[in-house]
Each structure stands twice: as C-alpha cells, then as structure tokens.
Structure 1
Amino acid sequence: MFKKVFLAALALIGSVSLANAQEVFHKGTTAINAGIGLGSYYSGITIPPLSVSLDYGVADNLINGNNGSISVGGFAGYTASSHTYGTYKSTFSYIALGGRGAFHYQFAPKLDTYAGLMVSYDIASASSNSDYAGASVATSGINWTLFLGGRYFFTEKIGGFAELGYGFYNLNLGVTFKL
C-alpha cells in the first residue's frame, strides 16, 4: 500500500513540475552543437567523425499549448582514415553537408529531447598507391540520416548533447551553445 501511494505521489510531483517547466527549446532559439562521433560506419578511422550543427526554432507550443517545437538547421561533418602496409598506402575522406529538421519535446527541466531527419550532400574520396599501381576514386551524392538526441543545459547557455544516428556516426557526443 505504502509503495503505491509513494509512486502515485512521485508521478504527481513529476507531472506538476513538467507542466510548470518552461520549454528549453522554443521558437527563436538557436543552438550550435560541436561534436565527435563514436562508432562510425567506416572502418579504420584515423580522424573520428567531427561535426558542427545548428538548430533554429521555427514553431513552438505544439502540444497542450506549452510543449513541443520544431527546428530547422544545418550540418557539416568530416572524417578520414589512412592506412600504410609496407609501401602500400591508402587514404579515405568523407564530408557531409546537409540541412536538418527536428521535433523537440521536453520531458524534464533543462533537458531538450528531439528526433529528426537530415538530408545531406556527401562527398567521399579514396586513393591508394603501391609499387605496382595507384588508384583514386571520388563519389558524391544525396544521403539521408535519421537521428534521436538530447541536450542537457548546465547553464542557460551551455550544455552537453548526445545524438544517436544512422548515417555519419552511430553516437555523436559534444557541447552545445544557445545563442
């Protein structure tokens, strides 16, 4: 009995604090993320996926008049690798430039959670040399990425972020700044 009452009281306190919490990300908010990717889809990475992204709030108060917002923004990322085996050397580089949009929902104070889609123009190049022959190839194209993320603000303007994604990285961790 005591356990049920305790859990009910905890749920009530949590819902009241969320209802009174001001949105962390709303219309007019600009956030810049600088991150480093972990668990890249590319093997033998010498330079891990480095990225910078920007999110700008264009709509807010979409759910119950006090939560839920939409952002649009941009993304730039770079990763590279280099391998040497005796006289054989190979290099690979990958650049992603894209636009992204996300839906933000605040579950707790100071925590901005979001899910989104990015469409990017990706440029990949690879080259190799050996005693016998050398080769290089470059390709580019349109790619899409789904991502799920969260930002926790330690102060009103500075926080940390984490994003799970399909595309440029598996997990992106870094710092975020609100302008």
Structure 2
Amino acid sequence: MTKKLFAFIVVFTTCGALTGIHAKNPFSKGDRIVNVGIGIGSYYGGSGYTSSIPPLSVSYEQGIIDGLLDGKASVGVGGYMAYTANKWETSISNSTYGYKYSYLIIGARGTFHYQFVDKLDTYTGLMLGYNVVNSKFFGDDPGSHTSGPTGVSGLGYSAFIGARYHFSDKLAAFAEIGYGISALELGISIKL
C-alpha cells in the first residue's frame, strides 16, 4: 500500500508541476484549509504489532496574520484529529490471545508559514491536544492477563514541519514530519 501511495503522490505532483498553474499567496489571513492525510511510520505499536487501521488524520487551519517578514510569512491556527488502531497477539498451547489498541488524538494547532518559492507553502508548528487510548483483551485468557478493557489517555503534544505544493488556488498536496499520530503524514489540502 505504501508503494501505491508514493506512486500516486509522485504522479499527482508531476501533473501539477506540468500544468504551470501559479498560486501567488499560498497561505494568507482569512484562508481556510482542510488537510486529509495518511500516516507512515506510526509511533503507536512496536515489534509484533499489526496495523488494523493505518494512521488517518484531518486538520483545519485558518490564517489569522499575514504580511510578516516582507510579506512572505503568515500565522495560522486550527484543529487536528487523527486515529489509528493495531493489535498484538500470540499463541500458547493452542490458545490465541492478545490486545486490540485504538488511538484518537484531538488537538489545537498553531503554525508559522514562510514562502521560499512559488507554489510551495512551507510551515512549522506546535499542537497541544488530548490522546484517547483504549485497549481490549481478546481470546482465551491463559491466566496471566486480564480480560477487561483498559486505557491510558492524557494530554499530548506535537511539533512538526510541513509543506504544501499548490497545483491550483484550491488544491495542494502536503507532507508533514514530526511527532504526532505518525512520523510522516502525506495527503491533500483543499482551500475552502
């Protein structure tokens, strides 16, 4: 699936670059943008875990300040929501058991944008949110595990850098790296 996603993004970016559409101000005061992405390299899980739902995210951002640093910089605020799920299982003496985990992050983000080149909106930001974590035991209990649901939820944070490549005034592809639902998020951005 990762190879197909990568191929799609390369083709999408190449097509956009060939069209020659120019986006003068990729992010300004009053702009509203929705990002929809999929994560690669999740921080949740580990050795022996299998992903049942890949990291998925949606974020909203609105420009609140522009015209900074010779008109090339702006500031935005917005919200973020992401979800992923995985499981860990093992078999002992013909008994299979394990845990299913789910992770939901809801947060508020602030971003600082700076345009280095045309059509490319580069930014960095911080997020403060709440991470809802649930786990549930499944299978035959061999006696050493509890079968009740458990969860460890709490405040979460993220620092990230990203870029949006604009194919038109309304459509862009984005990539973000940092600490969040995954190490790398790729997807599309739509200006409302």
Shift of 1:160: 0.4
Structure 1 residue aligned with 2:12: none
Task: Give the 3-state SS of the residue equivalent to 2:67 in structure 1.
Answer: coil
Shift of 1:107: 0.8
TM-score if structure 2 supplies the norm length? 0.78
Q: Which structure's CA Rg is the greater one?
A: 1
Task: Give the 3-state SS of the residue equivalent to 2:182 in structure 1.
Answer: coil
The letter of the residue matching 1:120 is G
The letter of the residue matching 1:32 is V
The reply on whether 1:137 has 2:150 as its aligned counterpart is yes
The reply on whether 1:159 has 2:172 as its aligned counterpart is yes
The letter of the residue matching 2:122 is T
The reply on whether 1:22 has 2:24 as its aligned counterpart is yes
Structure 2 residue aligned with 1:96: 105
**Separation of aligned partners in 2, 1:83 and 1:48:** 15
Structure 1 residue aligned with 2:58: 52
Percent identity between the aligned chains? 44
**Separation of aligned partners in 2, 1:82 and 1:22:** 46
Shift of 1:83: 3.5
**Separation of aligned partners in 1, 2:117 and 2:147:** 55
Shift of 1:169: 1.0
Structure 1 residue aligned with 2:7: none
**Separation of aligned partners in 2, 1:158 and 1:22:** 13
The reply on whether 1:170 has 2:183 as its aligned counterpart is yes
Shift of 1:139: 2.0
Q: Which has the higher contact order (CA 8 A, sep 6+)?
A: 2
**Separation of aligned partners in 2, 1:118 and 1:102:** 9
**Separation of aligned partners in 1, 2:153 and 2:89:** 25
Shift of 1:151: 0.3
**Unaligned stretches of 5+ in structure 1?**
1-20
The reply on whether 1:128 has 2:137 as its aligned counterpart is yes
Correspondence list, 1:81-120, <5 A: 81-86=86-91, 87-120=96-129
TM-score if structure 1 supplies the norm length? 0.83
The reply on whether 1:61 has 2:67 as its aligned counterpart is yes
**Separation of aligned partners in 2, 1:54 and 1:167:** 15
Q: How many residues align?
A: 158
Structure 2 residue aligned with 1:14: none
Greater Cα offset, 165-174 or 50-59: 165-174
